[in-house]
Amino acid sequence: MRRSRILSTGRYLPPKVVTNHDLARIINTNDQWIQERSGIVERRFVEGEVGASDLGFEAAKIAIDRAGIKPNDIDMIIFATLSPDHTFPGPGCLLQKMLDMPGKAVVDIRNQCTGFMYGMSIADQFIKTGMFDKILVVGAEVHSTGLEFADSGRDVTVLFGDGGGAMVIGVSDNPDRGILSTHLHADGRGFKDLWIEAPNSRCMPRITHQMIDEGRQWPKMNGRNVFKGAVTHLPEVINEALTANDVKLEDIAYLIPHQANMRINQFVAHKLGYPQEKVWHNIQRYGNTTAATLPLCLDEMLEQGVVKDNDLLMFAAFGAGFTWGSALVRW
Ligand SMILES: CC(C)(COP(=O)(O)OP(=O)(O)OC[C@H]1O[C@@H](n2cnc3c(N)ncnc32)[C@H](O)[C@@H]1OP(=O)(O)O)[C@@H](O)C(=O)NCCC(=O)NCCS
């Protein structure tokens, strides 16, 4: 069977920087609390009418260009986001229109912080089977228009930022290099530990003035359960990838985890016995960018030249649903 590999990456962050101090001027929080609890120093917010598809478009253009191809060389777009421009259709079709590649397949993924991981895995399957040769996987989020800028939402609001990332995934010319495995999981028992209740198709109409007055349109999180779920399942799914590939933890050049909280990632490395200096972090500058996080991380690593040929990279993510997964890549 063919092996897939990451041909290129791209990223786009909106220029507006919002520091913890900026947030502390609007809501009852402070820089020390945010940094101690999450590691976040600043994040980016969009300005004006900018949607997830716009951030994804900017990142996608860079990834496509770096792959040395044209949009029409792509067979399928996979777009992961929890902040789609509209309820339907998903932003994948909007992006396809922006890239002017009508007729090509589009998949929209709703798997939150694990969305990009699921996207990578789906791309891997389509390429392995020979159905498609080049797939654009995009993760992009505009969180800032959906956060509650009031004290009641401060636990969630301080954690999230906007951004977009992309990868072009294609066929590897070396069967030993590329995406070696992906492992995906979910547990719907955590559904309400991190969610937005409204709008909601169980209600007629889906959103009411009363629901808005009660703040049901804002994200709600049971932070402790999320933390517990992440530090339990991330080591599990990393070990699953190691076992499946008969690889040792010490052979992993970098652990590239989803950036929900620096403390989660430090805890995971500690639990595994993995060196903290080999865990990639960018949460300080961007906060939690959800589906955009993994491509943002890899794009920065490639730009900084830290990834060498044949390095083993362990990607891992955990998020709302709950959903989680890992991908082992030999670069
Ligand atoms: C959210 C999280 C940072 C909270 O950290 P914590 O150490 O568990 O915090 P605690 O719950 O012990 O303390 C919360 C206290 O801080 C307060 N607090 C909450 N948000 C705050 C903020 N932004 N600024 C200041 N204080 C805040 C609470 O009101 C509470 O005060 P109280 O003790 O007087 O009631 C932590 O649970 C976490 O990281 N969870 C995972 C979150 C995550 O990763 N989400 C994304 C998932 S994909």
Q: Whose CA is nearest to atom 42 of ligand 1?
A: 223
Ligand 1 in reach of 227 Cβ (< 6 A): yes
CB of 289 sitting under 6 A from ligand 1? no
The atom number, within ligand 1, closest to the CA of 157 reads 23
Residues near 215 by Cβ (< 8 Å), separated by ≥ 6? 148, 152, 153
Q: Does any ligand 1 atom lie closer than 6 A to the CB of residue 223? A: yes
Is the shortest distance between the CB of 122 and ligand 1 below 6 Å?
Answer: no
| Distance from Cα 225 to the centre of ligand 1, integer Å | 11
Answer whether 327 contacts ligand 1 (Cβ < 6 A).
no
DSSP string, 242-261: HHHHT--GGGEEEEEE--S-
Residue 112 Cα to ligand 1 middle (Å): 20
240 CA distance to ligand 1 centroid (A)? Answer: 30
Q: 9 — phi, psi (to 5°)?
A: -135, 165
> Is the distance from the beta carbon of residue 61 to the nearest atom of ligand 1 less than 6 Å?
no
Q: Would you say 99 and 277 are in contact if contact means Cβ atoms under 8 Å apart?
A: no
Residue 240: predicted pLDDT: 98
Splitting the chain (331 residues) into consecutive groups of 10 residues, what average pLDDT does each group show? 97 98 97 98 98 98 98 98 97 98 98 98 98 98 98 97 98 97 98 97 96 97 97 98 98 98 97 98 98 98 98 98 98 98
Which string of b and e fits 41-78 if b means at least 16 CB within 10 Å?
Answer: bbbbbbeeebbbbbbbbbbbbbbbebbebebebbbbbb
Contacts of 32 (CB under 8 A, 6+ apart): none
Alpha carbon distance 104, 121 (integer Å): 19
What integer pLDDT is reported at residue 296 of this predicted model?
A: 98
Distance CA 73, CA 109 (A): 22
For residue 250, what are the contacts with CB-CB under 8 A and spacing of at least 6? none
Ligand 1 binding pocket includes 235 (Cβ within 6 Å)? no
d(Cα 119, Cα 135) in Å, to the nearest integer? 10
For residue 10, the CA-to-ligand 1 centroid distance in Å is 32
- pLDDT, residue 130, reads 97
Give the bridge partners for 138, in sequence order. Answer: 79, 166
Nearest-angstrom CA–CA distance, 151 and 149: 7
pTM over 0.75: yes
Query: Is 113 assigned a catalytic role?
Result: yes
Q: State the closest ligand 1 atom to the C-alpha of 154, by its place in the atom list counted from 1.
A: 23
Please say whether the beta carbons of 183 and 323 come within 8 A: no
Helix H or strand E segment including 96: helix 91-98
The rounded Å distance from CA 226 to ligand 1 centre is: 11
Instruction: Establish whether 288 is a catalytic residue.
Output: yes
Q: Reply yes or no on whether 30 is catalytic.
A: no
Residue whose pair of structure tokens reads 């030249």 in the numeric block: 305
